[in-house]
Amino acid sequence: MYRIDASWPAIGIPACVKSVEELPFHAVGEKYITAVVEGAQGMPLLLPVLGEAYDIPSLLDRMDGLLFTGSTSNIHPRHYGGAPDRPDSPQDPQRDATTLPLIRAAIAAGVPVFCICRGHQELNVALGGTLHTQVHDLPGKRDHRSPKNVDYDARYAPQHKVSLEPSGMLTKILGRTEIEVNSLHWQAIDRLAPGLAIEAKAPDDVIEAVRVEKAKTFAFGVQWHPEYRVTENPVSLALFKAFGAACRDRARARLRTPGKAAE
């Protein structure tokens, strides 16, 4: 049994706005919290998505890492100059207003970031890239959406292979060039943002993982869900452990020189 104490790095997890009995709640799925605790050995701090109300440097001064989660909502296409999305596309403007500037600032400040599914798409958009809004409608692309009418485990079960860039950092971390991943997304990276390197692709060439090329620390996006049952999948666990190690390095630097770590 673990005990989450002050020696654990503080890992912020921006929430999604969800409606519960018609009232807005700022929520984070439990699997992301569990993955931070059991995979990264970090203290999870759930961040309400307060957009411009945050003084981002002050927020980053308290963070040793940030996990940007998946979500059923989509980034509004105005953030990447895209055509209007389908009319029923679920939106979360408060999350957009919080995560996009936070990702840019965290990377500039050397705060480790791990960006999953919607988070991976946010990383690309935050740095100037664009998205396909319905990747399954494109010629030659498979359906990357989650399997329908099946239980939770089957929805997050592996769906396809991913080839890792042989000279990439993920290959170094994982010690292999091919993995099997789950798949629960409608959208995908279209134009890659400047400064991102492709780390992995699906057989249909959908970009499945990226890295911030000049990042001072861990800064990855993955289109799949390594947080799901993190301790049961060695690849997922290795990713969260690498993220946690970077967060611990940042915590040591931050505690040595409080207020200076983000400079």
Among 122, 199, 208, 227, the active-site one is: 227
Angle at 252 between CA 246 and CA 253, to 5 degrees: 90
Binding piece for ligand LF53FM6H, criterion CB under 6 A, among 65-73, 80-88, 96-104, 192-200:
65-73
Instruction: Output the smallest distance, CB 29 to ligand LF53FM6H, in A.
Output: 5
Structure tokens at 35: 């993955």
Measured CA to CA, the distance from residue 96 to residue 119 in angstroms comes to 10
Among 117, 120, 144, 247, the active-site one is: 117
CB 69 within 8 A of CB 118: yes
Q: In terms of CB distance, is 7 or 91 closer to ligand LF53FM6H?
A: 91
Indicate if 115 belongs to the active site. no
Chain residue at closest Cβ approach to ligand LF53FM6H: 70
Indicate if 144 belongs to the active site. no
Binding-residue pattern over the window 77 to 116 for ligand LF53FM6H, x denoting contact by CB under 6 A: ----------------------------------------
Instruction: Output the smallest distance, CB 118 to ligand LF53FM6H, in A.
Output: 4
Given 41, 60, 68, 74, the residue binding ligand LF53FM6H (CB under 6 A): 74
Indicate if 117 belongs to the active site. yes
Given 76, 185, 211, 254, the residue binding ligand LF53FM6H (CB under 6 A): 185
HSE value, Cβ hemisphere, 13 Å, CA-based, for 191: 11
Q: In terms of CB distance, is 117 or 239 closer to ligand LF53FM6H?
A: 117
Binding-residue pattern over the window 220 to 259 for ligand LF53FM6H, x denoting contact by CB under 6 A: -----x----------------------------------
Asked if 117 touches ligand LF53FM6H (CB under 6 A), the answer is: yes
Catalytic residue numbers, as ranges: 117, 225, 227
Give the residues lining the site for ligand LF53FM6H (CB under 6 A): 29, 69-74, 117-118, 184-187, 225
